[in-house]
Amino acid sequence: MTFRTLDDADLQGRRALVRVDFNVPMQDGAVSDDTRLRAALPTIEKLRQGGAKTILLAHFDRPKGKRVPEMSLSPVVGPLSKLLGAPVAFADDCVGDAAAQAVAAMKDGDVLLLENVRFHAGEEKNDADFAKALAANGDLYVNDAFSAAHRAHASTEGLARLLPAYAGEQMRKELQALHAALGEPQRPVMGIVGGAKVSTKLDLLNNLVGKLDYLAIGGGMANTFLFAQGIEIGGSLCEKEMADTAREILEKAKAAGCHVILPTDAVVAKDLAPNAPNRVAELAGPNGVAAEEKIFDIGPNTLKQVLDAMSEAKTLIWNGPFGVFEVEPFDKATVDAAKHAARLAVSGKLVAVAGGGDTVAALNAAGVSQDFTFVSTAGGAFLEWMEGKELPGVAALSR
């Protein structure tokens, strides 16, 4: 897929409507994590240097089409201005007179943040009149919010149909990384999929087994696959009703030549607590999981299989941890695998792409996020892309 970038645009004096992701964590009315603000900086700087008027569109939380003062974007202005090293103006609406007057007051190179687009019901309905009201304040449209690209909303899809549309720098980076991971990857390609339930990642698994050379399944969802094969899992989290589906996925993987790595041993304990008494259970042997025990991580033999496959792979795509990484010592496999992937990526032997909230948190806990080729902070959009679904906000940018 090809799309226009800001390299293709004449920016001088033009009003650029930029969809960004400023749905940032807040605590006591202040921004508590500015990661998403920082992600928008390259696009804002490129527009400013090109002489454009940068008009930022974003949502915050779920006001459901009503004005909710606690969900205003105004607390973002100070932190963004500080990061930019330049003033950022604010308009208390994204359409109408307030927005039009604020845009009219702008000079080339200025930056303006408009109020929460979700204060209007037309945003999530992708209402044509609301999209036109937004478009009235712009000469071109830039989408820099991959995390919102799976939604066909007025500010993510509708606007791209009304104005010349371009991918922002963060969007470009994300799409290029994802294309390198599953579009035209270097082979062998390995996937790691974890999480609590097979049911929430059914589309993902069905899509990946046809595209990967190796698939390592971890987290609670691995227990369902073990149960489906008649392996005792004690009191572990399991979707027993998904056993037939799990077997179908394994058959599909086999037919596609995708080697699935499931746990052959596991770290088990009776209770989930920091440094709880635990042991390694050989899943298919006499030393298996007892009725009162639960699986909280993959064991050392399984981890070795994962690391060996990773060393053979040229491309890795990762979504979901192997164990309950938030609680020691059940973080070991996830941390060790993350560090191994990071070393391979840094040495140029592996293209390592990861995404999803738990995955990002796990890589941060391992201290290796900066060493991966790319780490996506887009949860739902990243997952839907991995499922092989078309993302409306991305499709709207195609040439």
Q: Give the pLDDT confidence of 269-286 residue by residue, as tens digits.
A: 999 999 999 999 999 888
Residues 10 and 129 in one domain: yes
SS3 12: coil
Residues 54 and 99 in one domain: yes
* Residue 324, domain member (yes or no): yes
Domain count for the chain, please give it.
2
- Same domain for 151 and 189, yes or no, is no
Q: Any idea what the CATH number is for the domain that residue 135 is in?
A: 3.40.50.1260
Is residue 31 helix, strand or coil? strand
Could you tell me if 123 and 100 lie in one domain? Answer: yes
Distance CA 299, CA 309 (A): 16
User: In this structure, are 114 and 144 located in the same domain?
Assistant: yes
For residue 390, the model assigns a pLDDT of: 86
Which among 125, 380, 388, 389 is annotated as catalytic? 380
Is 65 inside a domain boundary? yes
- Is 230 marked active-site? no
Residues 101 and 216 in one domain: no
One domain for residues 196 and 290: yes
Q: Are residues 81 and 130 in the same domain?
A: yes
Are residues 168 and 190 located together in one domain of the fold?
no
- Residue 377 falls within a domain, yes or no? yes
Q: From CA 354, how far away is CA 178, in angstroms rounded?
A: 9
Is 343 catalytic? The answer is: no
85 lies in the same domain as 216? no
Q: Do the domain assignments include residue 116?
A: yes
For the chain, give the longest Cα–Cα distance.
76
**Which residue's structure tokens are 């645009």?**
9
**Residues spanned by the domain of 332:** 185-386
Q: Would residue 82 show up in a list of annotated catalytic residues for this protein?
A: no
Asked whether residue 45 is domain-assigned, the answer is yes
User: 133 lies in a domain?
Assistant: yes
Q: Spot the catalytic one: 173, 197, 252, 314.
A: 197
Backbone φ, ψ for residue 94 (5° rounding):
-100, -10
- Of 113, 144, 173, which one is at a domain's C-terminal end? 173
Catalytic site includes residue 254: no
Give yes or no: residues 133 and 270 share one domain.
no
pLDDT the model gives residue 1: 59
User: Which of 357, 379, 388, 389 does the annotation list as catalytic?
Assistant: 357
Q: Which residues of the chain have pLDDT under 70?
A: 1, 399
Residue 178 lies in a domain: no
CB 37, CB 144: distance < 8 Å: no
Which residue of the set 15, 19, 36, 332 is catalytic? 36
Strand segments (E) across the chain:
15-19, 26-27, 30-31, 53-57, 89-91, 111-114, 140-143, 165-167, 189-193, 214-217, 259-261, 265-269, 278-282, 294-298, 315-319, 351-355, 374-376
Last residue of a domain, one of 144, 173, 202: 173
Identify whether 98 is part of a domain.
yes
Please tell me the predicted confidence (pLDDT) of residue 33: 86
